[in-house]
Amino acid sequence: MHKTICYYNFYITMLAQLQIMGDDLVSTYKTSGIVIKVQDFKENDKLVYIFTEKLGKIKAIAKGSKRNRSSLLTPTMQLCFGEYVIFKGKNLYTINEAKVINSFGSLLNDLEKLTYSTYICELIDIAVVEEESNASLFKDFTTCLYLLSTGAINYEILIRAFEIRLLKYTGYDLELEHCSICKKKISTSNYINLTYGGGVCDECEKMDSVFLSKASFNSLKFLSTTSFEKLYRLTLSENIRKELYKILTTMISLNYARTPKSLQMLEFIK
């Protein structure tokens, strides 16, 4: 009887320990991610906002990361693409380990590249809900940063394509194949309805719509259906660039809680 009680107590103790270990294992994640924003947190720590492949957008404490010799110094700098081992606490994540995949140093050393990359980081911060995985948007975000760093594609064209994908992956996809009001199929249009988010046929009311040339409408269609790597095929006139900028930045301002502050810098460097 005594042995039975001892075995039972041992079993209960081991079960409790395994449950605790299990909780720790479930709460620890390894994921790739890109740092979109950094804030000071205490004397030697940072509060790091990371858009991750598996967890979506998260904020995490990087303890000691402001120290020069910290292994977390570079992986927690803005725009760094890295592999992160993260523990989830009650209120915040904590970065336990990190390894740099690409620091995107070339983006930091060029004002125009830095401005555009800061802008898309701000878009992610504004548009993406915390802890909501969005693998497609993460892939396009990463690709966009790589292409910005190489300069292989016109920056404005690349950013307009990213804005379209951001709208799509966060629930505000532009309807360009059918009238956004009556749903009749259209080949092109001279209007984008801001309420319904898409083209307008000749018969429907143009209230709450913005005029644009058919060339600009067709450019929107091309940007929405063409992979980033093939955008080099597109050449846009100054007028078309202005129309696309107006349409897409207006859509972003209307659909999200706040307008990116870096838009002002974009207008300054254009």
- List, for residues 121-131, the tens digit of each pLDDT value: 999 999 999 99
- Confidence bin at 89 (pLDDT 50/70/90): confident
The predicted model scores a pTM of: 0.87
pLDDT mean over 257-268: 82
Note whether 97 and 177 are same-domain residues. no
**CA–CA separation, 121 vs 125, rounded Å?**
6
| CATH number of 168's domain | 1.20.1440.120
**8 pLDDT higher than 50:** no
Q: Does residue 18 form part of some domain?
A: no
**CA–CA separation, 23 vs 84, rounded Å?**
19
**CA–CA separation, 262 vs 5, rounded Å?**
68
Note whether 133 and 48 are same-domain residues. no
**2 pLDDT higher than 90:** no
Strands 81-88, 56-62: pairing kind: unpaired
CA distance to 6, 7, 10, 12, per residue, from 2 (Å): 6, 9, 12, 15
Note whether 179 and 260 are same-domain residues. yes
Domain residue limits at 96? 29-103
Strands 93-102, 56-62: pairing kind: parallel
- Confidence bin at 26 (pLDDT 50/70/90): low
The 10 Å Cβ neighbour count of residue 242 is 14
Q: Which residues contact 33 (CB under 8 A, 6 or more apart)?
A: 50, 51, 52, 53, 55, 58, 81, 82, 84
Nearest to 206 by CA among 220, 221, 189: 189
Q: What is the pLDDT of residues 68-80, one digit of tens each?
A: 899 999 999 999 9
Q: What is the pLDDT of residues 91-102, one digit of tens each?
A: 889 999 999 999
**20 pLDDT higher than 70:** no
- Confidence bin at 11 (pLDDT 50/70/90): very low
Q: Does residue 7 form part of some domain?
A: no
Distance of CA 216 to the CA centre of its chain: 25
Please report, rounded to a whole number, the percentage of residues in the chain having pLDDT higher than 70: 90
Kindly tell me the burial class for residue 199, based on how many C-beta atoms sit within 10 Å of its own C-beta (0-12, 13-18, 19 or more). buried
Task: Give the 3-state secondary structure of residue 167.
Answer: helix
Note whether 68 and 142 are same-domain residues. no
Q: What is the pLDDT of residues 45-54, one digit of tens each?
A: 999 999 999 9
Comparing 246 with 9, which gets the higher pLDDT? 246
Task: Give the 3-state secondary structure of residue 40.
Answer: strand
Q: Which residues contact 70 (CB under 8 A, 6 or more apart)?
A: 64
**118 pLDDT higher than 60:** yes
Note whether 77 and 207 are same-domain residues. no
- Largest CA-CA distance found in the chain, in angstroms, rounded: 90
Q: What is the pLDDT of residues 130-178, one digit of tens each?
A: 999 999 999 999 999 999 999 999 999 999 999 999 999 999 999 999 9
CA distance to 104, 131, 160, 215, per residue, from 83 (Å): 14, 17, 28, 42
Spatial strand order of the sheet with 191-193 comes to 198-199, 191-193, 209-211
**29 pLDDT higher than 70:** yes
- Number of domains within the chain: 2
pLDDT of residue 42: 85
pLDDT mean over 10-14: 47
